């Protein structure tokens, strides 16, 4: 099965995170704990799942297409993964395609021993690195950018695996959170800007790494802290933790969209409650773009916290004017364009008795292509809404992400093609407004966005990319490249 993100439409009209990772050292039946942790991270990737374990002598791997439950719900599957150390991964494909050969963790044998690696993020110079490695004789088994790291480690001339790992990462551009499992223990690392998230937890004597704190909650572990940007943490088989900082201390730029949409609302990201941040975004929306209306209605489920905040700030009642079915996925048979166009109605249904004759404020987290927003507004009108006003809990998404988020090319982003007034006409809303970039920063606890040195990666809104984009530059025409260079600079 290949189901969508809980909030994702069949036509790809939502941004998708690409991966979630979870690793544990020093736990009886470590693979079972990893499977449980991956359940909590399922929203970060529903295309495929893999777990690799180590029992002190041998490594064992199991991978599958689809959800965690479809591959690791029975005891026999987990019995194939013995050991007190394990790492797992759920994925959507960004760099590389679908198929089992790209399912992580990826494993490799070196002269000094084998290691498995699970990666959340995207390497923006993977094509250039791969070309160089192939030219020197490397043979790739997958199309995943993660395998580039494996070959860089394998070809490094440093004597220890840790030093080889650091040497490899110094050549990598882009965003990553990594778990590397070796016979000696586990290495976890976050990219120098901290674009992709990673947290450290403990359960008894077991040490755990996860993409989000909610995965620690689910396994009963305590959140110790966030892994710092550029930090590399080494954990041996006895649970001893050693922190390294081989990349200096550049100003961090964590992904602000984790707060807007990607992370579960019950997670803590960079020390802040995602749920409280999303409510604060809704409050900012109500302050910046008030409207006279009868009801505040979230687009389920992603718009709920922001809608609660908007209602609290505006005094307009919050109501569930749209009911979502939790049992419709991409695998639903779609024999015709008509059936495909009805997908929103299978997933969402207007609470007709509530919305008829009412002025509605719809709250959603983002507008990508705009097709889903159009269908939702039309649904409200068909249900008899007198007015439909649309408020968005993020700034306009005008630029593609190259750091591990599955976004359409820029020409397909509605905000890249239209101004706000034209977008309102496109989705047939009576009015449309987005939270400002400074309003978003206020919601995450900053006074405003610092011009020239922003506190977060917000490139999907501003085009201000925090790293070089080597692979993109190679396939971009000179005029576009000049503009991109100005943005990156």
Does 242 lie in the same domain as 306? no
Pick 281 or 341 by higher pLDDT.
281
Asked which of 254, 289, 311 is the last residue of a domain, the reply is 254
Residue 18 scores a pLDDT above 50: yes
Does 173 lie in the same domain as 108? yes
Does 133 lie in the same domain as 208? yes
CA dihedral of 434, 195, 224, 236, whole degrees rounded to 10: 160
Work out the mean pLDDT of the chain and round it to a whole number: 89
Does 204 lie in the same domain as 139? yes
Does 148 lie in the same domain as 108? yes
Does 300 lie in the same domain as 396? yes
Asked which of 222, 254, 286 is the last residue of a domain, the reply is 254
Does 290 lie in the same domain as 216? no
Q: Would 264 be classed as within a structural domain?
A: no
384 conformational bin, left if phi > 0, alpha if psi -120 to 50, beta if neither: left
Cα separation of 212 and 204, whole Å? Answer: 19
**Mean pLDDT for the stretch of residues 85-103:** 79
Range name among 88-97, 203-212, 329-338, 469-478 with the lowest pLDDT average: 329-338
Q: Would 206 be classed as within a structural domain?
A: yes
**Mean pLDDT for the stretch of residues 60-64:** 95
| 335 band by pLDDT with thresholds 50, 70 and 90 | very low
Q: How many CA atoms lie within 13 A of 55 on its CB side?
A: 11
- Which residue(s) pair with 392 in the sheet? 364, 434
> For the stretch 344-364, what's the b/e string if a residue is b when 16 or more beta carbons lie within 10 angstroms of its beta carbon?
beebbebbeebbeebbbbbbb
pLDDT digits (tens, 9 = 90+) for 261-307: 999 999 999 899 999 999 999 999 999 999 999 999 999 989 999 99
CATH number at residue 280: 3.40.50.2020
- Cα angle 382, 10, 280 (rounded to 5 degrees) comes to 75
Domain count within the chain? 2
Q: Would 187 be classed as within a structural domain?
A: yes
Residues that are catalytic: 19
pLDDT in the model for residue 163: 94
Does 249 lie in the same domain as 279? no
Sign for the pseudo-dihedral over CA of 413, 327, 6, 93: negative
Does 291 lie in the same domain as 159? no
Residue 13 scores a pLDDT above 70: no
CATH number at residue 143: 3.60.20.10
pLDDT in the model for residue 15: 63
| 342 band by pLDDT with thresholds 50, 70 and 90 | low
pLDDT digits (tens, 9 = 90+) for 39-56: 999 999 999 999 999 999
- Which residue(s) pair with 86 in the sheet? 24, 53
Number of Cβ within a 10 Å radius of residue 289: 20
**Mean pLDDT for the stretch of residues 1-17:** 43
**Token pair for residue 176?**
């990553």
Asked which of 254, 285, 309 is the last residue of a domain, the reply is 254
Q: Would 8 be classed as within a structural domain?
A: no
**Mean pLDDT for the stretch of residues 226-247:** 96
Cα separation of 439 and 447, whole Å? Answer: 9
Q: Would 266 be classed as within a structural domain?
A: no
pLDDT in the model for residue 242: 98
**Token pair for residue 369?**
């292509």
pLDDT in the model for residue 1: 25
Q: What percent of the chain has pLDDT over 90?
A: 79
| 8 band by pLDDT with thresholds 50, 70 and 90 | very low
Length of the chain: 489
pLDDT in the model for residue 283: 98
SS3 406: strand
Model confidence, pTM: 0.90
| 74 band by pLDDT with thresholds 50, 70 and 90 | confident
pLDDT digits (tens, 9 = 90+) for 100-127: 888 999 999 887 788 999 999 999 999 9
Does 248 lie in the same domain as 279? no
Pick 94 or 392 by higher pLDDT.
392
What's the domain range around 346?
275-488
Sign for the pseudo-dihedral over CA of 203, 188, 257, 148: negative
Does 386 lie in the same domain as 312? yes
pLDDT in the model for residue 278: 98
Burial of 366 (0-12, 13-18, 19+ CB in 10 A): buried
Residue 62 CA to its chain's centroid (Å): 23
Does 306 lie in the same domain as 212? no
Q: Would 265 be classed as within a structural domain?
A: no
Pick 475 or 4 by higher pLDDT.
475
pLDDT digits (tens, 9 = 90+) for 393-404: 999 999 999 998
Q: Would 392 be classed as within a structural domain?
A: yes
Pick 332 or 187 by higher pLDDT.
187
pLDDT digits (tens, 9 = 90+) for 380-390: 999 999 999 99
Q: Would 196 be classed as within a structural domain?
A: yes
Stretch (H or E) spanning 345: helix 343-347
pLDDT digits (tens, 9 = 90+) for 155-164: 999 999 999 9
pLDDT in the model for residue 326: 74
Cα separation of 364 and 303, whole Å? Answer: 4
């Amino acid at each position: 099965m290949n189901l969508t993100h809980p909030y994702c439409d069949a036509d790809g009209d939502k941004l998708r995170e690409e991966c979630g990772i979870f690793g544990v050292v020093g736990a009886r039946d470590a693979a079972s704990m990893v499977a449980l942790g991956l359940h909590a991270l399922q929203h970060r990737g529903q295309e495929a799942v893999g777990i690799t374990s180590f029992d002190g002598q041998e490594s064992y791997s199991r991978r599958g297409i689809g959800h965690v439950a479809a591959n690791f719900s029975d005891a026999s599957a987990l019995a194939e993964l013995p050991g007190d150390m394990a790492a797992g991964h759920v994925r959507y494909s960004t760099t590389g395609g679908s198929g089992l050969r790209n399912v992580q963790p990826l494993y490799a044998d070196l002269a000094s021993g084998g290691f498995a690696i699970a990666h959340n993020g995207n390497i923006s110079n993977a094509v250039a690195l791969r070309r160089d490695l192939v030219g020197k004789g490397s043979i790739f088994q997958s199309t995943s950018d993660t395998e580039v790291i494996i070959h860089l480690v394998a070809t490094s001339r440093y004597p220890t695996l840790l030093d080889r790992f650091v040497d490899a990462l110094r050549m990598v551009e882009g965003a990553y959170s990594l778990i590397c499992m070796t016979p000696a223990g586990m290495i976890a690392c976050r990219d120098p800007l901290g674009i992709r998230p990673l947290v450290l937890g403990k359960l008894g004597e077991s040490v755990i790494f996860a993409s989000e704190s909610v995965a620690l909650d689910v396994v009963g572990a305590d959140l110790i802290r966030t892994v710092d940007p550029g930090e590399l943490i080494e954990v041996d088989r006895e649970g001893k933790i050693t922190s390294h900082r081989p990349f200096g201390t550049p100003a961090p730029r964590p992904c602000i969209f984790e707060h807007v949409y990607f992370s579960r609302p019950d997670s803590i990201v960079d020390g802040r409650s995602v749920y409280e941040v999303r409510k604060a975004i809704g409050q900012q929306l109500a302050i910046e773009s008030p409207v006279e209306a009868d009801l505040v209605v979230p687009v389920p489920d992603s718009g709920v916290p922001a809608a609660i905040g908007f209602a609290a700030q505006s005094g307009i009642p919050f109501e569930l004017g749209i009911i979502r079915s939790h049992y419709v996925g991409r695998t639903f048979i779609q024999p015709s364009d008509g059936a495909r166009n009805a997908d929103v109605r299978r997933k969402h249904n207007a609470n007709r008795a509530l919305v008829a004759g009412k002025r509605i404020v719809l709250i959603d987290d983002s507008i990508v292509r705009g097709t889903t927003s159009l269908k939702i507004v039309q649904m409200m009108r068909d249900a008899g809404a007198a007015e439909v006003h649309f408020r968005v809990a993020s700034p306009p998404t005008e630029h593609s992400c190259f750091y591990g988020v599955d976004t359409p090319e820029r020409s397909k982003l509605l905000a890249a093609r239209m101004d706000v007034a034209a977008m309102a006409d496109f989705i047939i809303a009576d009015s449309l407004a987005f939270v400002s970039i400074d309003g978003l920063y206020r919601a995450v606890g900053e006074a405003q966005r610092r011009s020239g040195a922003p506190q977060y990666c917000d490139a999907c809104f501003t085009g201000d990319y925090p790293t070089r984009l080597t692979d993109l530059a190679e396939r971009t025409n000179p005029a576009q490249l000049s503009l991109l260079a100005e943005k990156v600079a």
